[in-house]
């Protein structure tokens, strides 16, 4: 076995020299993630100015805690993030601030309770079963594509299932087009590259968004008429949801915007987690064997289900380590509303504060051997700073779907590993590429052989 340090999984080559605006643009066209300087993996904070915008990249856990939690009111999400997403998901929980955010979050919180997610988990198991069946007889497959299909089946079944198969397809295509059209610009905008610089995809063709909304509206109308399903899904639960303080409930437009948010925020992110996890399992066969042993012992030949969550600790560790190395949301950003101090540095009103999750989670002051794949970092009792691992953010705006995603990822990963052995395809390593999310360019092609 080659020594661990010589064998590291694929990573993004971050920039080593400060970039001019023009260089920034050229680099960004190649891979937006590369704009994050390499020193972000060594320092607690890096500041700069691009085209009049002062920005700070923050990797210090204490300062991150201040931005996300202790001084939250001073750091709302940056306008650019909101402007980018608003055409698709309105003023939903993801975008709203202050009182308008708070009541929506309170109304939706019970939807994501552990009990409700356990009740929805059989849908995740069905999707795991379906992907195992699809792989039968295949020698190689793009596991990213497979995982996108699997997680879409889950999220569309728990949101708009009543709208029928066709509607699911339509929504899927509309979302893909929406993400493709909007995503490439975000970090460029965040660091203040002037708006006259042509973006590859500045304009939203109005259609994908309109399509998405039309399908969603129809599904909500229909559900209001026919009533809740036997096992209430996310739409039923959100229809019932009420802010306990203001007693406010969501109207149709608010329901639609939040459900579309769940799809946009929850579908590709979970697919990426699974695809990168499978890449890592193929990369490190010892880890895969350990996962396999756990799946054999716990599942006894069946597809994983809600009853297994809590009994698959190593599977959970592998997923957490995957989220460290390949965070689906590799940076998030905020705009300072007033003066503050982070890591002893002055923050001024309107400064952009970037949380480069990718660089944070590979920062050498926080993680020993930061680029190595070591699921034991997350073993029971192992210690790491909570604000050094932020794939779901933290504080009051932490991802509301984090538990949903972790349960889904465990069910699908454990079931796949039990049925199949995955190995790399020579010359087809994925290249991490930032398109709003951290995608494997070229897909995750793996060789597949059946275990049972
Ligand atoms: C592995 C999968 C996922 C990852 C890595 C992820 C990541 C994130 C991150 C980083 C944030 C915080 C953004 C910020 O503070 O700027 C967030 C927020 C959010 N996520 Fe997720 N997410 C995932 C899955 C999901 C799922 C499955 C759903 C819903 C079904 C979901 C719904 C949301 C919503 C609604 C918010 C906004 C919460 C608020 O502002 O109150 N996410 N997610």
> Which of the residue ranges 147-151, 213-217, 371-375 would you say has the lowest mean pLDDT?
213-217
Q: What pLDDT score was predicted for residue 86?
A: 79
Q: Is ligand 1 within 6 A of the CB of residue 320?
A: no
Residue 55, SS3 per DSSP = strand
Q: What pLDDT score was predicted for residue 211?
A: 72
Q: Cα(101) to centroid of ligand 1, in Å?
A: 14
Q: Cα(267) to centroid of ligand 1, in Å?
A: 10
CB atoms within 10 A of CB 74: 18
Q: Cα(398) to centroid of ligand 1, in Å?
A: 7
Q: Between 393 and 194, whose confidence is greater?
A: 393
Tell me the C-alpha distance between 196 and 176, whole Å.
26
Percent of the chain whose pLDDT exceeds 90? 62
- 407 half-sphere exposure, CB direction, 13 A CA radius: 25
Q: Regarding the domain with residue range 21-450, which homologous superfamily does it belong to in the CATH classification? A: Cytochrome P450 (1.10.630.10)
Dihedral angle computed from the Cα positions of residues 413, 415, 420 and 423, in that order, rounded to the nearest 10 degrees:
10
Give pLDDT tens digits for 391-449. 999 999 999 999 999 999 999 999 999 999 999 999 999 999 877 788 899 999 999 99
What is the pLDDT confidence band of residue 35, given thresholds at 50, 70 and 90?
confident
Residue 199, pLDDT above cutoff 50: no
What's the whole-number mean pLDDT along residues 383-396?
A: 97
Give pLDDT tens digits for 237-274. 999 999 999 999 999 999 999 988 888 888 889 999 99
Q: Is ligand 1 within 6 A of the CB of residue 273?
A: yes
Q: Is ligand 1 within 6 A of the CB of residue 413?
A: no
Q: Cα(169) to centroid of ligand 1, in Å?
A: 23
Give pLDDT tens digits for 1-26. 444 445 899 998 787 776 666 666 66
Mean pLDDT score of the chain:
87
Q: What pLDDT score was predicted for residue 4?
A: 45
Burial of residue 313 (CB within 10 Å: 0-12, 13-18, 19+) is middle
Residue 368, pLDDT above cutoff 90: yes
Out of 78, 265, 396, give the residue to mutate to test ligand 1, the one with the largest number of ligand atoms within 8 Å of its CB. 265
H/E run at residue 77: none
Which residues in 60-188 belong to E strands, given as ranges? 140-142
Q: Is ligand 1 within 6 A of the CB of residue 106?
A: no
Q: Which residue has the tokens 């009182």?
A: 99
Largest CA distance in the chain: 62
Q: Which of 164, 175, 158 is nearest to 112 (CA)?
A: 158
Burial call 342-351: b when 16+ CB within 10 Å, e when fewer: bbeeebeeeb
Q: Is ligand 1 within 6 A of the CB of residue 328?
A: yes
Give the contacts of 310 (CB within 8 A, at least 6 positions apart). none
Tell me the C-alpha distance between 171 and 209, whole Å.
9
Residue 208 has which token pair?
A: 């994908």
């Amino acid at each position: 076995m080659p020594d661990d340090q010589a064998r590291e999984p694929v990573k993004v080559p971050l920039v080593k020299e400060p970039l001019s605006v023009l260089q920034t643009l050229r680099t960004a066209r190649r891979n937006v993630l590369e704009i994050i300087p390499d020193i972000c993996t060594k320092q607690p904070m890096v500041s700069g100015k691009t085209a009049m915008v002062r920005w700070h990249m923050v990797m210090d856990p204490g300062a991150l805690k201040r931005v996300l939690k202790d001084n939250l009111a001073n750091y709302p999400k940056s306008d650019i993030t909101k402007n980018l997403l608003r055409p698709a998901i309105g003023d939903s929980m993801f975008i709203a601030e202050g009182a308008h955010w708070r009541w929506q979050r309170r109304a939706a919180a019970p939807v994501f309770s552990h009990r409700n997610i356990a009740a929805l988990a059989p849908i995740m198991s069905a999707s795991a079963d379906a992907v195992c069946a699809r792989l039968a007889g295949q020698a190689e497959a793009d596991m990213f594509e497979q995982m996108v299909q699997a997680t879409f089946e889950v999220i569309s079944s728990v949101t708009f299932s009543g709208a029928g198969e066709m509607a699911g397809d339509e929504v899927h295509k509309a979302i893909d087009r929406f993400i493709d059209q909007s995503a490439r610009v975000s970090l460029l905008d965040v660091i203040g590259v002037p708006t006259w610089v042509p973006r590859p995809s500045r304009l939203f063709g109005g259609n994908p968004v309109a399509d998405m909304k039309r399908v969603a509206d129809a599904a909500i109308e229909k559900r209001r008429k026919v009533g809740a399903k036997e096992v209430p899904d996310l739409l039923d639960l959100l229809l019932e949801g009420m802010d306990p303080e203001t007693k406010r409930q969501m109207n149709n437009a608010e329901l639609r915007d939040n459900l579309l948010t769940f799809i946009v925020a929850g579908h590709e992110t979970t697919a990426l987690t699974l695809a990168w996890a499978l890449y890592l399992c193929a990369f490190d066969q010892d880890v895969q064997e350990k996962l396999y042993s756990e799946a054999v012992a716990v599942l006894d030949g069946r597809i994983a289900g809600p009853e297994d969550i809590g009994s698959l600790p190593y599977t959970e560790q592998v997923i957490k380590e995957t989220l460290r190395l390949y965070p689906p949301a590799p940076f998030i950003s905020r705009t300072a509303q007033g003066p503050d101090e982070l890591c002893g540095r002055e923050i001024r009103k309107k400064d952009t504060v970037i949380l480069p999750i990718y660089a944070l989670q590979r920062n050498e002051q926080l993680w020993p051997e930061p680029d190595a794949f070591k699921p034991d970092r997350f073993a029971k009792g192992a210690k790491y700073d909570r604000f050094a691992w932020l794939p779901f953010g933290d504080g009051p705006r932490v991802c509301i779907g984090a538990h949903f995603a972790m349960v889904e990822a465990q069910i699908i990963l454990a079931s796949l590993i039990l049925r199949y052995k995955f190995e790399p395809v020579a010359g087809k390593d994925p290249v991490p590429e930032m398109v709003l999310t951290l995608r494997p360019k070229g897909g995750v092609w793996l060789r597949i052989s059946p275990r049972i």
